A and B are shown apart, each in its own frame.
Chain A
Amino acid sequence: MAAFVLPAVLVVAALLVGPMLLLARISLNRYSATDLMVEALSPQNYLAAVADPYYRGVMGTTLAVALLCTGLTLALGFPAAYRLARMESRWKSLVTVMTLIPLLVGNVVRAAGWMGLIGNDGLINAGLQATGLVSGPVRLIYTPGAVVVGTMAVVLPYMILTLASVIESIPRSLEEAAANLGAPALTVFRRVVWPLALPGTVAGCVLVFILCMNTYATAVLLGGPQFKMMAPAVYDQFSKGMNWPFGAALAFILLGATLALTVLGTALLGRRYAR
């Protein structure tokens, strides 16, 4: 049986583990305008990135967008997931597929749709101007809000599907018992559904947070040139700046921050509700 798993392990080792180690090594090198890269073994790229107010701002924006998106996605996704999980008709399968399709349609396609909706000549601005409420276009696109909403559209299906599978495993009889004993709907949610769904909620939030931290297409297309998040900043270093060591350091800072917050969040929630 070991021979069965070997090819897959070799592919992942050669194309993910190896390159990641190489990238880690490169992040310790030095950039030179003439030779591009000089072998070195120094943490200076990491220190420079952390010390630079510009990249601190980029990281701050990324964290703010990711945390806000995760919170809003949970708030909107939980009711939708509950509704889906408690569906009993033949529509359930259809709604599941309908939730899954947007998840698999690329981010670029969705960003294009948002551009048509919230662009300066988009549907919302055309509507506002037709009513005569505003004289010129209201700036909706190229704002942080546009990126937050656009990112939510990308991650909501993940949250809904993750939560729905957990809520489905909570026996309905528990809710009915609480309700029969006189608990109002909100109490049933707070004392029965929420605690039992918590492992799924943590899993969904972690998944969504990771995806939000690494938003690329949505940030570029809906945030505009002035708005910078970490993933586009990493890409720019490799494609335009040619400063590979610094780009590598940024990539690992992004990866490290995502991982650290994920672990911290899981631990905090886990401890608070471990009874």
Chain B
Amino acid sequence: MSVASLRPAPAPVLSALLGRLAFGLAVASAYAVVFAPIVMVVAISFFDQEIVTFPPDSLTLRWYVNAWSQRDFARGFVTSVQIALAATVIGVPVGTAAALALVRGRLPGKGVLNTLLLAPLAVPAIVAGSALYMFYLRAEDWLDMDIKATLGGLVAANVLITIPWTVRLVSASLAGLDPAAEEAAANLGARPLTVFRRITLPMLRPGIVAAALFSFVASFENLELNLLLVGPGRTTLPVAMLSYLEFRMDPTLAAVATAQIVMVSALMLVTDRFVKLSRVV
């Protein structure tokens, strides 16, 4: 920066004030746009009338009960939890091992491998979903078994979401680890496996917990990748909500949405206790 070219102009008070105002307005509108729909959907879930009108006559909690008694939402919720849990249980160990190798190992082509493992986040989900759909139909022909709309097929697709999130978060937390503790243990005679089990893994625990929670949420909330892979008997919650919303928006749906907002918020606040999210994202 060439200092000399900065004109030392006396800052006019009015324009400085206007500048601050514009800045504040931009910050406020950014957060207003982000939070308006979330606040709205939470509010509507308490409205008493089934047809949403403003202002509401009275407030109620009955839509939460109603939401759970709707088969599509209840089953969609259970399916989404099953898929997200299974995908997390499979994807986190696989992704953690890969992150260890990529950060600590001496591998040829690290950059390429890293790009490959993060690729599922870069390829548009609707494109990846279409590709998986075609692949599943082909595989069903070859193997003569159902894959699309099975739990196995959906879990496999969602592992594709949990692996890149895990690689990203565990790599970030590995990069921040001081190797001195591991070297000290090794110097004191600990074998590589002992060093890993007693030193590396405990130090990595926050990163792995964050990876697991992120993976679960990312898979649970995913719509586009699963869109073509669900079927009449087995639908995820976001897909069930989308089909419902194409006909109407009412407090029952708002209750389902609010439950999700509460779940995601709780999981993220827990994650933040393990790892400072401001450092890993």
A residues at B contact (CB < 8 Å) = 1-2, 4-5, 7-9, 11-13, 15-20, 22-23, 26, 75-80, 83, 92-93, 96-97, 99-102, 104-117, 119, 121-123, 126-127, 149-150, 152-153, 156-157, 160-161, 165, 174, 177-178, 181-187, 191-192, 210, 213-214, 216-217, 220-221, 231, 234-235, 238-239, 244, 247-248, 251-252, 254-255, 258
The answer to whether B37 and A110 have CB atoms under 8 Å apart is: yes
CB pair B260–A216 under 8 Å, yes or no, is no
Residue among B97, B133, B277 making CB contact with A8, cutoff 8 Å: B97
A interface, over-half SS: helix
**CB of B67 within 8 Å of the partner chain:** no
Check if B238 is an interface residue, CB within 8 A of chain A. Answer: yes
Residues in B129-172 with C-beta less than 8 Å from chain A = 130-135, 138, 156-157, 159-160, 163, 167
A-B contact pairs, 17 of them (CB 8 A): A5-B98, A8-B95, A8-B167, A15-B132, A16-B120, A19-B135, A23-B135, A79-B30, A105-B264, A106-B221, A113-B257, A119-B52, A156-B33, A161-B281, A185-B11, A221-B245, A234-B126
Note all chain B residues with C-beta closer than 8 A to A97.
268-269, 272, 277
A254 vs chain B, min Cβ distance (A): 7
Residues of B within 8 A of A80 (CB): 26-27, 30-31
Q: Any chain A CB within 8 A of the CB of B187?
A: no
Of A77, A104, A244, A254, the contact of B134 (CB 8 Å cutoff): A244
Residues of B contacting A153 with CB < 8 Å?
33-34, 36-37
* Residues of A with C-beta under 8 A to B128: 16, 19-20
Task: Give the distance to chain B from A149, nearest Cβ to Cβ, in Å.
Answer: 7
Residues of B within 8 A of A (CB): 1, 3, 6-11, 15-16, 19-20, 23, 26-27, 29-31, 33-41, 43-44, 51-55, 94-95, 97-98, 100-102, 104-107, 113, 116-117, 119-120, 122-128, 130-135, 138, 156-157, 159-160, 163, 167, 214, 217-218, 221-224, 227-228, 238, 241-242, 245-246, 249, 253-254, 257, 260-261, 264-265, 268-269, 272, 276-278, 281
- Cβ of A8 to closest chain B Cβ, rounded Å: 4
Structural contact, A214 and B126, CB atoms closer than 8 A: yes
Instruction: Give B36's nearest chain A residue, CB to CB.
Output: A117
Q: Which of A104, A165, A210, A248 has the most CB of B within 10 A?
A: A104
B101 cross-chain contacts in A, Cβ below 8 A: 1-2, 4-5
Main SS class of interface, B: helix
Known A75-B26, A100-B277, A238-B130; contact A127-B54, beta-carbon cutoff 8 A: yes
| 9 cross-chain pairs, A with B, having the tightest CB-CB distances, nearest first | A113-B37, A1-B105, A182-B8, A126-B54, A19-B131, A8-B98, A4-B101, A19-B135, A113-B41
Cα separation A75 to B26 with both chains bound (whole Å): 8
Bound CA span A255–B228, Å? 18
Q: B6's contact among A101, A117, A178, A235, by CB below 8 Å, is which?
A: A178
Does the CB pair A104–B160 fall under 8 Å?
no
Question: Which of A4, A210, A238 has most chain B Cβ within 10 Å?
Answer: A4
When distances are taken between beta carbons in the complex, the residues of chain B under 8 Å from A248 are: 130, 134
- Given A102-B38, A183-B6, A238-B133, verify A149-B33 contact (CB < 8 Å): yes
Q: A96-B277, A181-B3 are in contact. Are A105 and B221 (CB under 8 A)?
A: yes
* Shortest Cβ distance from B39 into A: residue: A113
**Interface pair B9/A184, CB less than 8 Å apart:** yes
Q: Are A101 and B257 touching (Cβ within 8 A)?
A: no
Residue of B nearest to A81 (CB): B30
Q: State A80–B24 Cα separation when bound (angstroms).
A: 9
Besides the known contacts A5-B101, A182-B8, 19 further A-B residue pairs in the complex with CB atoms under 8 A apart? A5-B107, A15-B157, A16-B123, A16-B131, A19-B128, A19-B131, A76-B29, A109-B37, A122-B52, A178-B6, A181-B8, A185-B19, A214-B127, A216-B224, A221-B245, A231-B126, A238-B133, A251-B130, A252-B127
